[in-house]
A = this chain, B = another copy of it.
Amino acid sequence: MLKNFFEPRSVAIIGASRNPKKIGHVIFRNFIEGSFKGKVYPINPNTRELLGQKCYPTVLSVKDRIDLAVICVQSPIVPGIIEQCGKKGIKACIIISGGFREIGNTELENQCIHIAKKYGIRILGPNCMGIFSPVSGVDTLFLPRYKVERPKKGNIAFISQSGALGSVMLDWMAMKGYKLSYFVSYGNAADVDETELLEYLSNTKTTRVICAYIEGVKNGRKFYNVLRKVSRKLPVIILKGGRTQEGTNAIHSHTGSLAGTSEIYTAAFKQANVIEAKTLEDLFDFARILSTQPKPKGNKIQIITNGGGFGILMADAVISKGMKLAEMSKKGLRRLKDAMPPYVVLRNPMDLTGDATTERYRIAIESAISDKNVDMIIVISLLQTPLLTTDIVDVISELGRKGKKPTIFVALGGRFTSLLKKTLEDSGIPTFSYPERAAESLKVLYEYYRKRG
Protein backbone atom coordinates (compact mmCIF):
# COMPACT_ATOMS: atom_id res chain seq x y z
CA MET A 1 0.00 0.00 0.00
CA LEU A 2 1.56 3.27 -1.11
CA LYS A 3 -0.91 5.22 1.00
CA ASN A 4 1.56 5.21 3.89
CA PHE A 5 3.89 7.35 1.75
CA PHE A 6 1.34 9.90 0.67
CA GLU A 7 -1.14 10.06 3.57
CA PRO A 8 0.70 8.99 6.71
CA ARG A 9 -0.80 9.85 10.08
CA SER A 10 2.59 9.66 11.78
CA VAL A 11 6.11 10.17 10.46
CA ALA A 12 9.59 9.52 11.87
CA ILE A 13 12.46 11.66 10.55
CA ILE A 14 15.51 9.47 11.00
CA GLY A 15 18.63 11.63 11.01
CA ALA A 16 16.80 14.76 12.18
CA SER A 17 19.53 17.18 13.20
CA ARG A 18 20.17 20.40 15.11
CA ASN A 19 22.46 21.64 12.35
CA PRO A 20 20.30 23.77 10.02
CA LYS A 21 22.56 22.88 7.08
CA LYS A 22 21.75 19.18 7.41
CA ILE A 23 19.07 17.60 5.29
CA GLY A 24 17.55 15.98 8.38
CA HIS A 25 17.06 19.39 9.94
CA VAL A 26 15.38 20.94 6.90
CA ILE A 27 12.99 18.00 6.48
CA PHE A 28 11.99 17.94 10.15
CA ARG A 29 11.39 21.68 10.03
CA ASN A 30 9.27 21.33 6.87
CA PHE A 31 7.01 18.89 8.68
CA ILE A 32 6.51 20.89 11.83
CA GLU A 33 6.24 24.29 10.14
CA GLY A 34 4.15 23.13 7.18
CA SER A 35 0.57 21.92 6.91
CA PHE A 36 1.14 18.33 8.08
CA LYS A 37 -1.57 17.39 10.58
CA GLY A 38 -0.20 14.09 11.91
CA LYS A 39 2.49 13.30 14.45
CA VAL A 40 6.18 13.82 13.72
CA TYR A 41 8.97 12.05 15.60
CA PRO A 42 12.56 13.25 15.22
CA ILE A 43 15.00 10.36 15.54
CA ASN A 44 18.62 11.01 16.51
CA PRO A 45 20.60 9.15 19.24
CA ASN A 46 22.80 12.21 19.91
CA THR A 47 20.07 14.77 20.54
CA ARG A 48 17.44 14.92 23.27
CA GLU A 49 15.39 17.77 21.91
CA LEU A 50 14.91 19.36 18.51
CA LEU A 51 13.07 22.61 17.72
CA GLY A 52 11.22 22.22 21.01
CA GLN A 53 10.24 18.59 20.46
CA LYS A 54 11.44 15.47 22.20
CA CYS A 55 13.97 13.56 20.12
CA TYR A 56 14.13 9.71 20.18
CA PRO A 57 17.30 7.61 19.90
CA THR A 58 15.65 5.06 17.56
CA VAL A 59 12.20 4.37 16.14
CA LEU A 60 11.95 1.52 18.61
CA SER A 61 11.82 3.99 21.49
CA VAL A 62 8.67 5.60 20.06
CA LYS A 63 5.60 4.02 21.65
CA ASP A 64 2.98 5.05 19.09
CA ARG A 65 2.50 3.55 15.68
CA ILE A 66 4.57 5.06 12.82
CA ASP A 67 3.25 4.99 9.25
CA LEU A 68 6.26 6.42 7.43
CA ALA A 69 9.99 6.71 8.08
CA VAL A 70 12.02 9.34 6.23
CA ILE A 71 15.65 8.25 6.26
CA CYS A 72 18.38 10.84 5.83
CA VAL A 73 21.43 9.25 7.43
CA GLN A 74 24.65 8.28 5.64
CA SER A 75 24.29 5.34 3.31
CA PRO A 76 26.40 2.71 5.17
CA ILE A 77 24.08 2.75 8.20
CA VAL A 78 20.83 2.67 6.19
CA PRO A 79 20.48 -1.17 6.26
CA GLY A 80 20.58 -1.17 10.08
CA ILE A 81 17.98 1.59 10.18
CA ILE A 82 15.64 -0.38 7.91
CA GLU A 83 16.05 -3.39 10.18
CA GLN A 84 14.89 -1.22 13.12
CA CYS A 85 11.97 0.11 11.07
CA GLY A 86 10.99 -3.47 10.32
CA LYS A 87 11.04 -4.39 14.00
CA LYS A 88 8.92 -1.34 14.79
CA GLY A 89 6.35 -2.43 12.22
CA ILE A 90 6.82 0.54 9.87
CA LYS A 91 5.60 -0.32 6.39
CA ALA A 92 6.97 2.58 4.32
CA CYS A 93 10.45 4.15 4.15
CA ILE A 94 11.65 7.02 2.01
CA ILE A 95 15.43 6.84 1.65
CA ILE A 96 16.55 10.37 0.84
CA SER A 97 20.25 9.52 1.25
CA GLY A 98 22.45 8.98 -1.80
CA GLY A 99 25.49 6.73 -2.07
CA PHE A 100 23.92 3.61 -3.55
CA ARG A 101 23.59 2.24 -7.07
CA GLU A 102 24.05 5.71 -8.65
CA ILE A 103 27.72 5.64 -7.56
CA GLY A 104 28.17 1.91 -8.09
CA ASN A 105 27.11 0.70 -4.61
CA THR A 106 24.60 -1.78 -6.02
CA GLU A 107 25.40 -4.24 -3.24
CA LEU A 108 24.36 -1.81 -0.50
CA GLU A 109 21.13 -0.98 -2.32
CA ASN A 110 20.27 -4.67 -2.75
CA GLN A 111 20.93 -5.26 0.95
CA CYS A 112 18.40 -2.57 1.88
CA ILE A 113 15.76 -4.05 -0.40
CA HIS A 114 16.43 -7.53 0.98
CA ILE A 115 15.81 -6.37 4.55
CA ALA A 116 12.75 -4.36 3.52
CA LYS A 117 11.22 -7.40 1.78
CA LYS A 118 11.76 -9.49 4.91
CA TYR A 119 9.58 -7.09 6.92
CA GLY A 120 7.13 -6.20 4.16
CA ILE A 121 8.41 -2.61 3.97
CA ARG A 122 7.99 -0.60 0.78
CA ILE A 123 10.93 1.67 -0.17
CA LEU A 124 10.85 4.96 -2.08
CA GLY A 125 14.32 5.95 -3.32
CA PRO A 126 17.13 5.80 -2.39
CA ASN A 127 18.83 8.95 -3.72
CA CYS A 128 15.61 10.92 -4.08
CA MET A 129 13.81 14.02 -2.85
CA GLY A 130 10.75 12.03 -1.86
CA ILE A 131 7.30 13.56 -1.61
CA PHE A 132 5.70 16.96 -1.33
CA SER A 133 1.94 17.24 -1.06
CA PRO A 134 -0.21 20.24 -0.15
CA VAL A 135 -3.07 17.75 0.25
CA SER A 136 -1.56 15.70 3.07
CA GLY A 137 1.19 18.09 4.20
CA VAL A 138 3.98 15.56 3.62
CA ASP A 139 7.15 17.46 2.67
CA THR A 140 10.44 15.60 2.47
CA LEU A 141 12.12 18.09 0.11
CA PHE A 142 15.43 19.00 1.70
CA LEU A 143 15.36 22.51 0.22
CA PRO A 144 14.16 25.16 2.64
CA ARG A 145 11.04 27.11 1.67
CA TYR A 146 12.89 30.39 1.25
CA LYS A 147 14.87 28.78 -1.54
CA VAL A 148 12.13 26.63 -3.06
CA GLU A 149 8.58 27.94 -2.64
CA ARG A 150 5.85 25.31 -2.45
CA PRO A 151 2.77 25.40 -4.73
CA LYS A 152 -0.74 25.51 -3.30
CA LYS A 153 -3.23 22.65 -3.25
CA GLY A 154 -4.62 21.74 -6.64
CA ASN A 155 -5.26 18.71 -8.80
CA ILE A 156 -2.09 18.17 -10.82
CA ALA A 157 0.18 15.30 -9.71
CA PHE A 158 3.82 15.43 -10.81
CA ILE A 159 6.23 12.51 -10.91
CA SER A 160 9.88 13.32 -11.62
CA GLN A 161 12.78 10.97 -12.10
CA SER A 162 15.06 13.96 -11.52
CA GLY A 163 14.64 15.44 -8.07
CA ALA A 164 16.50 18.64 -8.89
CA LEU A 165 14.43 19.28 -12.00
CA GLY A 166 11.26 18.52 -10.10
CA SER A 167 12.04 20.86 -7.26
CA VAL A 168 12.84 23.85 -9.47
CA MET A 169 9.57 23.22 -11.25
CA LEU A 170 7.76 23.43 -7.90
CA ASP A 171 9.46 26.75 -7.13
CA TRP A 172 8.42 28.03 -10.55
CA MET A 173 4.84 26.72 -10.16
CA ALA A 174 4.46 28.50 -6.84
CA MET A 175 5.54 31.80 -8.39
CA LYS A 176 3.09 31.39 -11.26
CA GLY A 177 0.20 30.33 -9.02
CA TYR A 178 0.00 26.86 -10.58
CA LYS A 179 -1.35 24.25 -8.17
CA LEU A 180 -0.46 20.70 -7.20
CA SER A 181 -1.87 17.59 -5.53
CA TYR A 182 1.27 15.43 -5.15
CA PHE A 183 4.90 15.66 -6.19
CA VAL A 184 7.14 12.63 -6.03
CA SER A 185 10.82 12.14 -6.84
CA TYR A 186 11.66 8.42 -6.78
CA GLY A 187 15.43 8.46 -7.40
CA ASN A 188 16.96 5.03 -8.00
CA ALA A 189 13.54 3.32 -7.84
CA ALA A 190 14.99 0.31 -6.05
CA ASP A 191 11.48 -0.79 -5.07
CA VAL A 192 8.58 1.57 -5.82
CA ASP A 193 8.84 2.67 -9.45
CA GLU A 194 7.20 5.12 -11.86
CA THR A 195 4.56 2.60 -12.91
CA GLU A 196 3.29 1.95 -9.41
CA LEU A 197 3.33 5.67 -8.59
CA LEU A 198 1.35 6.48 -11.70
CA GLU A 199 -1.29 3.93 -10.84
CA TYR A 200 -1.51 4.97 -7.20
CA LEU A 201 -1.78 8.70 -7.98
CA SER A 202 -4.50 8.08 -10.58
CA ASN A 203 -6.64 6.76 -7.74
CA THR A 204 -6.16 9.70 -5.38
CA LYS A 205 -9.24 11.84 -4.92
CA THR A 206 -7.71 15.24 -5.66
CA THR A 207 -5.69 14.30 -8.74
CA ARG A 208 -7.21 15.06 -12.14
CA VAL A 209 -4.08 15.08 -14.30
CA ILE A 210 -0.70 13.35 -13.95
CA CYS A 211 2.52 14.90 -15.29
CA ALA A 212 5.77 13.02 -15.43
CA TYR A 213 9.40 13.66 -16.32
CA ILE A 214 11.13 10.35 -17.03
CA GLU A 215 14.50 9.38 -18.41
CA GLY A 216 13.85 5.67 -18.71
CA VAL A 217 11.64 2.92 -17.28
CA LYS A 218 12.59 -0.49 -15.93
CA ASN A 219 9.76 -2.61 -17.23
CA GLY A 220 8.42 -1.15 -20.46
CA ARG A 221 5.56 -3.57 -20.91
CA LYS A 222 4.19 -3.08 -17.41
CA PHE A 223 4.57 0.69 -17.75
CA TYR A 224 2.70 0.68 -21.06
CA ASN A 225 -0.19 -1.38 -19.74
CA VAL A 226 -0.66 0.92 -16.77
CA LEU A 227 -0.43 3.98 -19.01
CA ARG A 228 -3.21 2.65 -21.21
CA LYS A 229 -5.42 1.94 -18.26
CA VAL A 230 -4.77 5.22 -16.44
CA SER A 231 -5.11 7.49 -19.46
CA ARG A 232 -8.61 6.21 -20.07
CA LYS A 233 -9.45 7.61 -16.67
CA LEU A 234 -7.48 10.85 -16.60
CA PRO A 235 -4.94 12.65 -18.80
CA VAL A 236 -1.29 11.65 -18.45
CA ILE A 237 1.37 14.00 -19.83
CA ILE A 238 4.95 12.78 -20.10
CA LEU A 239 8.19 14.57 -20.93
CA LYS A 240 10.83 12.02 -21.90
CA GLY A 241 14.42 13.20 -21.37
CA GLY A 242 16.78 11.83 -24.04
CA ARG A 243 14.83 12.40 -27.23
CA THR A 244 18.12 12.57 -29.14
CA GLN A 245 21.12 10.23 -29.12
CA GLU A 246 23.16 12.92 -27.36
CA GLY A 247 20.51 13.34 -24.68
CA THR A 248 20.33 9.59 -24.24
CA ASN A 249 24.10 9.41 -23.78
CA ALA A 250 23.82 11.96 -21.00
CA ILE A 251 21.22 9.80 -19.24
CA HIS A 252 23.78 7.06 -18.67
CA SER A 253 25.84 9.39 -16.51
CA HIS A 254 22.77 10.78 -14.75
CA THR A 255 20.32 8.13 -13.55
CA GLY A 256 21.93 5.23 -15.41
CA SER A 257 18.51 4.26 -16.75
CA LEU A 258 18.07 2.15 -19.82
CA ALA A 259 16.71 4.95 -21.89
CA GLY A 260 15.50 3.08 -24.94
CA THR A 261 14.98 4.84 -28.23
CA SER A 262 12.85 7.91 -28.36
CA GLU A 263 10.76 6.52 -31.23
CA ILE A 264 9.59 3.57 -29.15
CA TYR A 265 8.42 5.87 -26.37
CA THR A 266 6.67 8.21 -28.78
CA ALA A 267 4.85 5.32 -30.44
CA ALA A 268 3.83 3.81 -27.10
CA PHE A 269 2.58 7.15 -25.78
CA LYS A 270 0.51 7.69 -28.90
CA GLN A 271 -0.95 4.21 -28.70
CA ALA A 272 -1.90 4.69 -25.04
CA ASN A 273 -3.37 8.20 -25.60
CA VAL A 274 -0.65 9.63 -23.39
CA ILE A 275 0.16 13.25 -24.21
CA GLU A 276 3.83 13.63 -25.01
CA ALA A 277 5.30 16.94 -23.91
CA LYS A 278 8.24 18.09 -26.02
CA THR A 279 9.35 20.74 -23.54
CA LEU A 280 9.07 21.66 -19.87
CA GLU A 281 6.75 24.48 -20.95
CA ASP A 282 4.40 21.97 -22.58
CA LEU A 283 4.20 19.87 -19.45
CA PHE A 284 2.42 22.40 -17.28
CA ASP A 285 0.63 24.31 -20.04
CA PHE A 286 -1.10 21.08 -20.96
CA ALA A 287 -1.60 20.02 -17.35
CA ARG A 288 -3.26 23.28 -16.36
CA ILE A 289 -5.76 23.18 -19.17
CA LEU A 290 -6.53 19.48 -18.79
CA SER A 291 -6.94 19.70 -15.02
CA THR A 292 -9.42 22.57 -15.10
CA GLN A 293 -11.34 22.59 -18.38
CA PRO A 294 -14.22 20.39 -19.54
CA LYS A 295 -14.34 18.23 -22.65
CA PRO A 296 -14.90 20.44 -25.71
CA LYS A 297 -17.66 19.55 -28.21
CA GLY A 298 -15.42 20.36 -31.16
CA ASN A 299 -12.44 22.45 -32.27
CA LYS A 300 -14.12 25.73 -33.20
CA ILE A 301 -12.65 28.58 -31.21
CA GLN A 302 -13.98 32.09 -30.60
CA ILE A 303 -11.33 34.73 -29.91
CA ILE A 304 -12.36 37.81 -27.92
CA THR A 305 -9.77 40.59 -27.63
CA ASN A 306 -9.32 44.28 -26.91
CA GLY A 307 -6.14 44.54 -28.99
CA GLY A 308 -6.23 44.05 -32.75
CA GLY A 309 -2.60 42.98 -33.10
CA PHE A 310 -2.91 40.33 -30.41
CA GLY A 311 -6.11 39.07 -32.05
CA ILE A 312 -4.32 38.66 -35.37
CA LEU A 313 -1.46 36.71 -33.80
CA MET A 314 -4.00 34.55 -31.96
CA ALA A 315 -5.88 33.78 -35.19
CA ASP A 316 -2.56 32.86 -36.83
CA ALA A 317 -1.73 30.55 -33.95
CA VAL A 318 -5.14 28.82 -33.88
CA ILE A 319 -5.01 28.08 -37.60
CA SER A 320 -1.33 27.06 -37.57
CA LYS A 321 -2.10 24.44 -34.91
CA GLY A 322 -4.86 22.96 -37.08
CA MET A 323 -7.82 24.29 -35.10
CA LYS A 324 -10.71 26.35 -36.47
CA LEU A 325 -12.16 29.81 -35.93
CA ALA A 326 -15.83 29.59 -34.91
CA GLU A 327 -18.49 31.44 -36.88
CA MET A 328 -21.06 32.71 -34.44
CA SER A 329 -24.72 32.28 -35.32
CA LYS A 330 -26.50 35.14 -37.07
CA LYS A 331 -28.92 35.48 -34.23
CA GLY A 332 -26.11 35.84 -31.70
CA LEU A 333 -24.30 38.37 -33.86
CA ARG A 334 -27.47 40.44 -34.29
CA ARG A 335 -27.93 40.55 -30.54
CA LEU A 336 -24.28 41.56 -30.04
CA LYS A 337 -24.62 44.31 -32.63
CA ASP A 338 -27.44 45.85 -30.63
CA ALA A 339 -25.45 45.70 -27.40
CA MET A 340 -22.09 47.00 -28.64
CA PRO A 341 -20.80 50.35 -29.97
CA PRO A 342 -20.68 50.40 -33.79
CA TYR A 343 -16.86 50.28 -34.05
CA VAL A 344 -16.58 46.96 -32.24
CA VAL A 345 -15.45 44.33 -34.77
CA LEU A 346 -17.99 41.49 -34.58
CA ARG A 347 -16.06 38.76 -36.30
CA ASN A 348 -13.50 36.24 -35.22
CA PRO A 349 -11.24 37.52 -33.66
CA MET A 350 -13.87 39.75 -32.06
CA ASP A 351 -12.13 43.06 -31.36
CA LEU A 352 -13.81 44.91 -28.50
CA THR A 353 -11.20 47.66 -29.14
CA GLY A 354 -9.00 49.64 -26.77
CA ASP A 355 -11.84 51.29 -24.84
CA ALA A 356 -13.50 47.97 -23.94
CA THR A 357 -14.97 47.81 -20.44
CA THR A 358 -15.53 44.78 -18.23
CA GLU A 359 -19.21 44.95 -19.17
CA ARG A 360 -18.39 44.70 -22.87
CA TYR A 361 -16.31 41.60 -22.12
CA ARG A 362 -19.19 40.11 -20.12
CA ILE A 363 -21.61 40.50 -23.01
CA ALA A 364 -19.13 39.05 -25.51
CA ILE A 365 -18.19 36.03 -23.36
CA GLU A 366 -21.82 35.27 -22.49
CA SER A 367 -22.80 35.28 -26.13
CA ALA A 368 -19.92 32.96 -27.04
CA ILE A 369 -20.93 30.59 -24.24
CA SER A 370 -24.53 30.41 -25.43
CA ASP A 371 -23.67 30.16 -29.14
CA LYS A 372 -23.92 26.60 -30.44
CA ASN A 373 -21.26 27.27 -33.10
CA VAL A 374 -18.60 27.99 -30.49
CA ASP A 375 -16.75 25.08 -28.81
CA MET A 376 -13.96 26.88 -26.95
CA ILE A 377 -13.26 30.46 -25.94
CA ILE A 378 -10.01 32.42 -25.82
CA VAL A 379 -10.26 35.69 -23.94
CA ILE A 380 -7.38 38.07 -24.65
CA SER A 381 -7.09 41.22 -22.63
CA LEU A 382 -4.47 43.91 -22.60
CA LEU A 383 -5.08 44.82 -18.99
CA GLN A 384 -3.18 48.11 -19.26
CA THR A 385 -5.91 49.93 -21.21
CA PRO A 386 -7.42 52.96 -19.43
CA LEU A 387 -11.07 51.91 -19.09
CA LEU A 388 -10.63 48.32 -18.01
CA THR A 389 -10.96 47.66 -14.29
CA THR A 390 -9.73 44.69 -12.31
CA ASP A 391 -13.23 43.20 -11.97
CA ILE A 392 -12.65 41.69 -15.41
CA VAL A 393 -10.92 38.92 -13.47
CA ASP A 394 -14.13 38.17 -11.56
CA VAL A 395 -16.24 38.18 -14.71
CA ILE A 396 -13.93 35.79 -16.54
CA SER A 397 -13.65 33.36 -13.66
CA GLU A 398 -17.38 33.42 -12.95
CA LEU A 399 -18.39 32.88 -16.59
CA GLY A 400 -15.57 30.40 -17.13
CA ARG A 401 -16.85 28.25 -14.28
CA LYS A 402 -20.51 28.44 -15.27
CA GLY A 403 -19.95 28.22 -19.00
CA LYS A 404 -19.16 24.50 -19.39
CA LYS A 405 -17.06 25.38 -22.42
CA PRO A 406 -13.26 25.43 -22.25
CA THR A 407 -12.29 29.03 -21.56
CA ILE A 408 -8.74 30.31 -21.27
CA PHE A 409 -7.13 33.69 -20.80
CA VAL A 410 -4.21 35.24 -22.69
CA ALA A 411 -2.41 38.40 -21.65
CA LEU A 412 1.07 39.79 -21.79
CA GLY A 413 2.43 42.45 -19.51
CA GLY A 414 4.40 43.26 -16.41
CA ARG A 415 3.84 42.96 -12.69
CA PHE A 416 0.21 44.10 -12.73
CA THR A 417 -0.74 41.63 -15.46
CA SER A 418 1.12 38.81 -13.71
CA LEU A 419 -0.78 39.49 -10.52
CA LEU A 420 -4.18 39.36 -12.21
CA LYS A 421 -3.20 36.20 -14.08
CA LYS A 422 -2.23 34.55 -10.81
CA THR A 423 -5.70 35.36 -9.46
CA LEU A 424 -7.29 33.78 -12.53
CA GLU A 425 -5.14 30.65 -12.13
CA ASP A 426 -6.33 30.47 -8.58
CA SER A 427 -9.96 30.41 -9.70
CA GLY A 428 -9.32 27.67 -12.26
CA ILE A 429 -8.86 29.66 -15.49
CA PRO A 430 -5.63 28.68 -17.25
CA THR A 431 -3.63 31.73 -18.32
CA PHE A 432 -1.06 32.11 -21.06
CA SER A 433 1.37 34.81 -22.20
CA TYR A 434 1.76 33.83 -25.83
CA PRO A 435 -0.88 33.05 -28.47
CA GLU A 436 0.96 29.94 -29.69
CA ARG A 437 1.12 28.35 -26.25
CA ALA A 438 -2.60 28.97 -25.76
CA ALA A 439 -3.56 27.49 -29.14
CA GLU A 440 -1.36 24.44 -28.70
CA SER A 441 -2.82 23.72 -25.27
CA LEU A 442 -6.40 23.92 -26.54
CA LYS A 443 -5.45 21.55 -29.31
CA VAL A 444 -4.08 19.05 -26.80
CA LEU A 445 -7.31 19.29 -24.77
CA TYR A 446 -9.37 18.69 -27.89
CA GLU A 447 -7.24 15.78 -29.11
CA TYR A 448 -7.14 14.02 -25.75
CA TYR A 449 -10.92 13.81 -25.50
CA ARG A 450 -11.37 13.11 -29.20
CA LYS A 451 -9.17 10.00 -28.86
CA ARG A 452 -10.58 8.94 -25.52
CA GLY A 453 -14.11 9.29 -26.83
Which residues of A pack against B, CB within 8 Å? 21, 103, 143, 146-149, 160-162, 164-165, 167-169, 171-172, 174-175, 213, 215, 239, 241-247, 249-251, 253-255, 278-281, 306-313, 315-320, 325, 343, 345, 347-349, 351, 354, 382, 384-386, 411-418, 433-436
* Sample of 9 further A-B pairs with CB below 8 A, known A149-B414, A169-B412: A147-B416, A148-B414, A168-B384, A243-B320, A251-B312, A254-B309, A254-B345, A279-B313, A281-B436
Instruction: Say whether, besides A147-B416, A162-B309, A254-B351, A319 and B245 are in contact (CB < 8 Å).
Output: yes
B416 near A325 (CB under 8 angstroms)? no
Bound CA span A246–B439, Å:
14
* 16 A-B residue pairs with CB within 8 Å: A147-B384, A148-B414, A167-B384, A168-B310, A171-B414, A172-B414, A175-B418, A215-B312, A241-B309, A246-B318, A247-B312, A253-B345, A254-B308, A254-B311, A279-B313, A281-B433
Selected from B175, B213, B249, B312, the residue in CB contact (under 8 A) with A242 is: B312
B242 near A143 (CB under 8 angstroms)? no
Bound CA span A382–B129, Å:
15
Bound CA span A368–B313, Å:
40
Bound CA span A435–B416, Å:
27
Instruction: Say whether, besides A384-B168, A434-B280, A308 and B174 are in contact (CB < 8 Å).
Output: no
B143 near A308 (CB under 8 angstroms)? no
Selected from B168, B320, B414, B436, the residue in CB contact (under 8 A) with A244 is: B320
Bound CA span A166–B330, Å:
34
Bound CA span A254–B351, Å:
9
Q: How far is the CB of A163 from chain B (nearest CB, A)?
A: 8
A316 near B434 (CB under 8 angstroms)? no
Q: How far is the CB of A304 from chain B (nearest CB, A)?
A: 13
10 residue pairs, one from A and one from B, having the closest CB atoms = A162-B309, A254-B308, A165-B309, A247-B316, A171-B414, A175-B414, A244-B319, A164-B307, A241-B312, A247-B315
Q: How far is the CB of A105 from chain B (nearest CB, A)?
A: 13
A307 near B148 (CB under 8 angstroms)? no
Bound CA span A413–B169, Å:
6
B143 near A386 (CB under 8 angstroms)? yes
Q: How far is the CB of A99 from chain B (nearest CB, A)?
A: 11
Q: How far is the CB of A355 from chain B (nearest CB, A)?
A: 10
Residues of B within 8 Å of A251, CB to CB, are: 312
Q: Which of A21, A149, A247, A311 has the most chain B CB within a 10 Å cutoff?
A: A247
Bound CA span A306–B147, Å:
16
Residues of B within 8 Å of A436, CB to CB, are: 278-279, 281
Residues of B within 8 Å of A418, CB to CB, are: 175
Selected from B164, B306, B310, the residue in CB contact (under 8 A) with A310 is: B164
B384 near A308 (CB under 8 angstroms)? no
Q: How far is the CB of A248 from chain B (nearest CB, A)?
A: 8
Nearest B residue to A388 by beta-carbon distance?
B147
B241 near A171 (CB under 8 angstroms)? no
Bound CA span A351–B351, Å:
50
Residues of B within 8 Å of A318, CB to CB, are: 246
Q: How far is the CB of A74 from chain B (nearest CB, A)?
A: 15
Selected from B146, B246, B309, the residue in CB contact (under 8 A) with A164 is: B309
A307 near B165 (CB under 8 angstroms)? yes
A215 near B309 (CB under 8 angstroms)? yes
Nearest B residue to A411 by beta-carbon distance?
B168
